[in-house]
Amino acid sequence: MSITGSKTDGVAVKLKYGMVGGGPGSFIGDVHRRAIALDGKVDLVAGSFSDVPDEVYETGHELGLGDERLYVTYQEMAEKEAAREDGIDFVVIVTPNFLHYPVAKAFLEVGIHVVCEKPLCFEVAQGEELKKIADAKGCLFGVTYTYTGHVMAKQARDMIAKGEIGEVRVVMAEYPQDWLIESDEELGMQGAWRTNPKLSGRSNCLGDIGSHAENMVNYMTGLKLKKLCAKMDTKVAGRTLDDNSQVLLEYENGATGTLWCSQIAIGNDNALRVRIFGKLGSIDFVQEDSNYMKVTKKGEPTQIYSRGTGAVGEVAGAFSRLPAGHPEGFFAAYANIYSAFAAAVYDKAAGKDVDEESYGYPTIDMGIDGVRFVNKCCDSNDAGSVWVDF
């Protein structure tokens, strides 16, 4: 795998992508576009940025696209791009959550690879259906669990896979924020839809950020959940969905853990932290300080691994763009998901067998796992915070 792009006959062939969602006012669509641009290996050539036609054209023109590649419905975009000789290599889905499933389905059915924001969908069955279609059509499918893109998250994954901290015994995952500390009225639209069950499904906090924490544990350790017990609470009056949730976890290998997510934890911006304790060592990953990671081997002093140094192995190190001490951040994390996905697209195009998990981007299996996690937590909570099997 390479993050520097591939070539045919010595000439770099850039990939082409289209975007669904990401119109005026969209934060996350803009992030995806900037992150992809950072590496300059994939060009945006088409889009259906909104369900409001004027907004499709407004955003498209701002991005330098001509009307020919702008579409007022995602269905039309899927159909026409699939038909073009120079159609997109993959689609990026950054719509509101409830559209992830139908949009992904539409593109898979015409054989176009998909990168989709999380959550993959609301129901496990939908996720499994998408997977079945992807398999049938030979489509690749990435889910943008952003933080897996950090070099240090990859380093943790690599070290754990190699047994450097021994069998995992305890997992502590937390993801506190404080941006929903005000009531929904004070917050206005941005917060409001997240706490509305019609738009956000059964959970707000667990679905929005708790699932990142669960995914990170899964990504780093590969552990399979056995059962869980969730307590989901709404702390701000007038809100319907959870804004602070705590989950006890038990994994199939006997490891146990706790996951806490909150949007009302004053003093926390975006403080995803995952600590993994094994029989021989531990790792401590803090998203806001993601150029570093604390590693402790049994009986030795804690070490501070720095991205870009020799402490970082080849697998993770291949995703570094800058020397140590020259911080990489959130955009680079997204870019790393895309560079890995692009590598898989190249290899697929070259006729190679592609094992998606080995490329390092979050797969549709992780997306389904995330949907199952949120639903199981809701099941547990609805039943009085009892233990439910996973």
Considering only residues 243 to 272 of the shown chain, the ones binding a second copy according to CB under 8 A are: 244, 246, 248, 250, 256-258, 260, 262, 264-271
A 10 A CB-CB count for 144 gives 26
Report 52-91 residues binding a second copy (CB under 8 A): 61-64
Residues 122, 277, 338, 361: which binds a second copy (CB under 8 A)? 277
Of 107-115, 135-143, 193-201, 284-292, the window that binds a second copy (rule: CB under 8 A) is 284-292
Tell me the C-alpha to C-alpha distance, in Å, between residue 193 and each of 48, 96, 115.
Answer: 22, 10, 23
Helix axes 124-137, 100-109, angle to 10 degrees: 20
Looking at 105, 137, 297, 372, which residue binds a second copy (CB under 8 A)? 297
Residues 155-194 within binding reach of a second copy (CB under 8 A): 165, 169-170, 172, 174, 177-179, 181
CB of 164 to a second copy, least distance (A): 12
Select from 161, 304, 350, 383 the one that contacts a second copy (CB under 8 A). 304
Nearer to a second copy, 297 or 372 (CB): 297
User: For 362-390, b where at least 16 C-beta lie within 10 A, e where not — what string?
Assistant: bbbbbbbbbbbbbbbbbebbeeebeebee
Enumerate residues 3-22 that contact a second copy by CB under 8 A. 11-12, 14
* Residue number, 363 or 381, with CB nearest to a second copy: 381
DSSP three-state, residue 215: helix
* Secondary structure class of 135 (helix, strand, coil): helix
Secondary structure (DSSP) of 240-292: -S-SEEEEEEEETTS-EEEEEEES--TT-SS--EEEEEESSEEEEEEGGGTTE
| CA max distance for the chain | 64
Distance CA 242, CA 209 (A): 11
Structure tokens at 46: 């088409």
Judged by CB under 8 A, the number of residues near a second copy is 90
- Contact pick of 9, 85, 300, 314 for a second copy (by CB under 8 A): 300
Residue 298 lies near a second copy (rule: CB under 8 A): yes
x/- mask, a second copy, residues 315-344, rule CB under 8 A, reads ------xxxxxxxxxxxx------------
C-beta closer to a second copy: residue 60 or 207: 60
